[in-house]
Structure 1
Amino acid sequence: MPELIWKGKDKVINHHQEVPVKTLDHQYTFGDENEVSTGNKIIHGDNLEALKALLPQYEGKVKCIYIDPPYNTGNEGWVYNDNVNDPRIKKWLGDVVGKEGEDLCRHDKWLCMMYPRLQLLKRLLANDGVFLCSIDENQYHSLKIVLEEVFGKNNYLGSICWKSRNTDNRVKTRLSIDYEYVIVSSKGAPIHGRFIDRSNFKNQDNDPRGPYVTDPLTGKATKEDRPNLHYNICNPETGDVFYPDPSRGWITDRAGYEKLLADNKIWWPLNPKTGKTRKKRFLSETEARMPVSSFWADIKGQTGADELDQIMGERVFAFPKSADFISRVLDIACDNNSLILDSFAGSGTTAQAVLNLNNQDGGNRKFILIEMMDYAETITAERVLRVMDGYGEEGKRVDGTGGGFDYYTLGERVFDDEGNLNEAIGTEKIRQYVAWTEKLPAIEADEHPYWLGERDRTGFYFYYDPERLTVLSLDFLATLQRKNEGYLIYADSCVLDAGFMRKHNIRFKKIPRDISRF
């Protein structure tokens, strides 16, 4: 398989493993008076660190990832700096790549920036999930090779080519590039596909198998090429004979036709002189979703800015994608109960697309947006808020979609430089982190102060106290009221006999040594 080599790759190829895990600090909830999590998240912070912060809770759980990263065009004038020269990216390159980073061309910088983020996105993607990335010709070929390296060549599903704008008559080359791509990868699963309108399925002859449509019985092979597909067929009730098209024949041989006839799947025309025999295809045998074309010429690519202007009341973003475009991408990528992640959130169009789709089909999609720029709250979150609440003046008022979201910023690291727990984040966040590492969705309420939750009939306890050393002993076991088939207990040390622990199905994990690192 071809491998893309660029300056600095050796410095970033494993960098995703070195990124420290930080906490997500909840700032506020919009749309929920009781401050209960909505399931939707908007995170302000560097997306590399934010992706790492999501791993404990969401590794392997995100059904759809759509990103619209900077295209690396070299244009310095956009609100979202598209030359990868943001001071924070420059500092990151200096810290990770070192002195060599000063000599990188913009393509090297872009690939250095993208590679560790793609590695973390892959870890967050579910095994049956789909990854989609918008890009144009500036980095399409490089990105495709890198994605094949990250996800595997066999997991490249294809690229959608869509008409993103009208022809630009100002280009000096006189060749206006009017299209962009969406590269589609996965971990082996197909995309959801396009919805097919089934309203044309009827049951005119009261077939007990229900509604159906009819498909041509005509094939695509000449008699010279496939003589077994050329034979006469007869309606057993009327005696009418139907002859094959000499240039096409039938879709199946005589044995196949006899099986269709025995299954009552042959549809006979009322007028044999003008009509043709056809094959019944029942609604019950038809999938609700079908393959989608990779060529989209009917998308309005230039409506995103006007759409955002209407929501915000002024021009705040130059070239956002339209909500209709992202809605279509999400609709063909995943089902209506999916968790969707966008780690280059920009103005928040992905959240609007999710909310619109839920309104259309009653779905329960959830979104996670990550935006590193300072406008994460004033533009990204504000747009989502207005879409949920409704926006516009009287006469042009757009009703709100409803819903809510939780707004987060990046907090402190879970572990310090020596690998010890960072007590500054507080005991509750440490407990939550450990619960996620053990695949416990949430800490269950319980009278026992060190209880975390239960999974597979095993009770989990995190016996941690920042003020003293904790010991797994008989005295501690005596405090346990719940009866479980097994126990997994974290503590600073353990004095129980190994045979006793085996007999009572007790597992010990030492703090902090045995706490999983992501």
Structure 2
Amino acid sequence: MPFLDWVNKNQAKETTREVPYHLLKQESVHGDASGANADNLLIQGDNLLALKALIPFYAGRVKCIFIDPPYNTQSAFEHYDDKLEHSQWLSMMYPRLVLLRELLAADGTIWVSLDDNEAHYIKVMMDEIFGRQCFVANLIWEKADSPRNSARQFSSDHDHIFVFSRTPDWQPSKLPRTEESNSIYTNPDNDERGPWIPGDPYANKPYSKGLFSITGPSGRVFTAPPGRYWRVSEEKLRDLDTDGRVWWGPKGEARPSIKRYLSEVSDLVPRTLWRKEQAGSNRTSKNEMRALFPAEASFGTPKPEALVKRALQIATSAGDLVMDSFLGSGTTAAVAHKMGRPYIGIEMGEHARTHCLPRLQKVIDGEQGGASKAVEWQGGGGFRFCTLGEPAFDTDGRISAEVKFATLAAYVWHFETGEPGQQMFDTPMLGVHNGTAYYLLYNGILGDRRPAGGNVLTHAVLQAINEVFPHDGPKVVYGEMSRLGASRLGAEGITFKQIPYDVKMR
């Protein structure tokens, strides 16, 4: 498989491993951010740092990632520096895509919206990161309502949306039928089964019983054209005709067509061409932003809510976690909120506060713009607004005093097992994975609240662990120090790892 190369690619690959872990600092709570809304997060900060901070808690949990990164159009936008040199843009995207892949669920997908400036480069990059076998589709979104006559060569009417899955066997959900898709069904013969369309009776592939002649009501004889074959056997075709499921034309002289009834067809398989009538356009999104923020200049490049709604209909169900690490004006989070999908939105710029936060508050209040009527949104729910806090480790590798037990426990659990830390970390025993139990002695978790209390593996601490949190099998214990000899550790089946030196991060 060919690979994309650019200046400083090796440094971009190293960046993924060198990103420091930061803590998330909760700034405010809006609406009801408990229960089903507990995962709803709006994070202001560098998305590379934010993604790394989220991995111990959300690795493998995100069902759909929809991102609209800067297009690198060599233009200046009010809210973005979208004028990155090509190799810099690629170096910016590579480590972020690697971390996003780690957050993606096994049955999840990532959707990346771009124009022609970088779209075809990102396709090759994502082939490398996600695997060519996980490429799903290149969607063409009709973003323009009318031609731009000032264009130097061609007026650009579309953007690309590349869809990749985490595993090759992903299957999309079908889309509900619309009045437009149903309008092609008619009922010229007043069939009691309702509207229908004529189906082609012929097939291109050879069929053992597909060569015969049949006589229609007018006496005309029909055979399959050269190189084609009847789709069904002669017996089956006659049975369908007897049942009124074959159409011979208004005078009984046309070739037989097998009826396909509207009542018997399923929802629609997603297609790769998304018209503005189905998914909105740039004009649609700008009008949505003007309605939300009438006193401000329109956000530079928002996406219409109908576009994101369509993606989430295909890629998620209610309750599935959605992420957008280039949140922009907040469209993905707003639509996910309205559709009952928990979400994590990350935005570095100040418009995380000036646009995203008030927009999501309007959603809670029940605003009726965008996709609201289509999804019957009436308001409610909530989210937490967070910023990036201190690094979890200082330059010497020591753990920050701001790191609480549950946070470090999630890091340790993820490093050892590769699983996200979703359980309640409120005891020294973090859990059992593949027969091994993991323990953490930190911040006096055994009850002594002095900083160093209970953090050393002594005979008394081991006795307490065995009595209160027993495990008949291998154990891994993290602590500041062990006062047990190698023979005792071996006898107990314990592998001891020292804090902070053995606390590594994926």
**3-state DSSP of counterpart to 1:114:** helix
Cα deviation for residue 375 of structure 1 reads 1.7
Q: Select 1:337's aligned residue among 316, 319, 323.
A: 319
Query: What is the CA–CA distance in structure 2 between the aligned matches of 1:66 and 1:33, rounded to whole Å?
Result: 22
* 1:81 aligned partner, one-letter code: D
8 Å CA contact 1:40–1:366 kept in 2: the answer is yes
**3-state DSSP of counterpart to 2:202:** coil
Aligned residue pairs, count: 472
**3-state DSSP of counterpart to 2:20:** coil
Cα deviation for residue 46 of structure 1 reads 0.2
Query: What is the CA–CA distance in structure 1 between the aligned matches of 2:284 and 2:247, rounded to whole Å?
Result: 52
Report what 1:93 is aligned to. none
8 Å CA contact 1:435–1:442 kept in 2: the answer is no
- After superposition, the Cα gap between the structure-2 partners of 1:382 and 1:81, relative to the gap in structure 1 and judged at 3 Å, is same
Report what 1:103 is aligned to. none
TM-score computed with the length of structure 2 as normaliser: 0.79
Q: How does 1:220-299 map to 2 (within 5 A)?
A: 220-221=203-204, 228-232=209-213, 244-246=223-225, 251-252=230-231, 254=233, 268-269=243-244, 276=256, 278=258, 290-296=269-275, 298=277, 299=279
Cα deviation for residue 380 of structure 1 reads 0.9
**3-state DSSP of counterpart to 1:336:** coil
Report what 1:16 is aligned to. 16
Cα deviation for residue 434 of structure 1 reads 3.1
Describe the superposition over 1:316-358 as per-residue Cα deviations: whole angstroms up to 9, x where unpaired.
Answer: 41321111111112222233332111000001000122133x2
Cα deviation for residue 3 of structure 1 reads 2.4
Query: What is the CA–CA distance in structure 2 between the aligned matches of 1:76 and 1:354, rounded to whole Å?
Result: 29
Report what 1:303 is aligned to. 284
Cα deviation for residue 453 of structure 1 reads 4.7
**3-state DSSP of counterpart to 2:24:** strand
* 2:348 aligned partner, one-letter code: M
- After superposition, the Cα gap between the structure-2 partners of 1:501 and 1:126, relative to the gap in structure 1 and judged at 3 Å, is same
Q: Select 1:180's aligned residue among 138, 159, 168.
A: 159
Query: What is the CA–CA distance in structure 1 between the aligned matches of 2:71 and 2:13, rounded to whole Å?
Result: 21
TM-score computed with the length of structure 1 as normaliser: 0.77
Moved more, 302-311 or 480-489: 480-489
* 1:365 aligned partner, one-letter code: R
Does 2:146 match 1:167? yes
Report what 1:420 is aligned to. 398
Report what 2:482 is aligned to. 494
8 Å CA contact 2:58–2:103 kept in 1: the answer is yes
- After superposition, the Cα gap between the structure-2 partners of 1:130 and 1:428, relative to the gap in structure 1 and judged at 3 Å, is closer
Report what 1:313 is aligned to. 294
Query: What is the CA–CA distance in structure 2 between the aligned matches of 1:269 and 1:60, rounded to whole Å?
Result: 52
Describe the superposition over 1:180-213 as per-residue Cα deviations: whole angstroms up to 9, x where unpaired.
Answer: 1101112324351432449999xxx999xxx999
Cα deviation for residue 367 of structure 1 reads 0.9
- After superposition, the Cα gap between the structure-2 partners of 1:227 and 1:426, relative to the gap in structure 1 and judged at 3 Å, is closer
Does 2:362 match 1:386? yes
- After superposition, the Cα gap between the structure-2 partners of 1:39 and 1:287, relative to the gap in structure 1 and judged at 3 Å, is farther
Cα deviation for residue 131 of structure 1 reads 1.0
Unpaired stretches in structure 2, ≥5 consecutive residues: 186-190, 444-450
Q: How does 1:77-156 map to 2 (within 5 A)?
A: 77-84=77-84, 106-156=85-135
- After superposition, the Cα gap between the structure-2 partners of 1:31 and 1:459, relative to the gap in structure 1 and judged at 3 Å, is farther
Report what 1:406 is aligned to. 384
**3-state DSSP of counterpart to 2:113:** strand
Q: Select 1:464's aligned residue among 442, 457, 463.
A: 442
Unpaired stretches in structure 1, ≥5 consecutive residues: 85-105, 359-363
8 Å CA contact 2:247–2:258 kept in 1: the answer is no
Cα deviation for residue 429 of structure 1 reads 3.2
Query: What is the CA–CA distance in structure 1 between the aligned matches of 2:60 and 2:227, rounded to whole Å?
Result: 49
Cα deviation for residue 442 of structure 1 reads 4.2
Cα deviation for residue 295 of structure 1 reads 4.7
- After superposition, the Cα gap between the structure-2 partners of 1:426 and 1:335, relative to the gap in structure 1 and judged at 3 Å, is closer
CA RMSD of aligned residues (A): 4.2
Query: What is the CA–CA distance in structure 2 between the aligned matches of 1:351 and 1:271, rounded to whole Å?
Result: 49
**3-state DSSP of counterpart to 1:160:** strand
Report what 2:43 is aligned to. 43
* 1:376 aligned partner, one-letter code: A
Report what 2:174 is aligned to. 194
- After superposition, the Cα gap between the structure-2 partners of 1:399 and 1:496, relative to the gap in structure 1 and judged at 3 Å, is same
Cα deviation for residue 459 of structure 1 reads 5.3
**3-state DSSP of counterpart to 1:134:** strand
* 1:355 aligned partner, one-letter code: H
* 2:390 aligned partner, one-letter code: E
8 Å CA contact 1:192–1:335 kept in 2: the answer is no
Does 2:462 match 1:477? yes
Cα deviation for residue 153 of structure 1 reads 2.1
Query: What is the CA–CA distance in structure 2 between the aligned matches of 1:277 and 1:140, rounded to whole Å?
Result: 43
Q: Select 1:157's aligned residue among 104, 123, 136.
A: 136
Describe the superposition over 1:278-299 as per-residue Cα deviations: whole angstroms up to 9, x where unpaired.
Answer: 4889999x87663423453533
Query: What is the CA–CA distance in structure 1 between the aligned matches of 2:436 and 2:196, rounded to whole Å?
Result: 53
8 Å CA contact 1:444–1:453 kept in 2: the answer is no
Cα deviation for residue 314 of structure 1 reads 2.6
Report what 2:329 is aligned to. 347
* 1:467 aligned partner, one-letter code: A
Query: What is the CA–CA distance in structure 1 between the aligned matches of 2:156 and 2:501, rounded to whole Å?
Result: 55
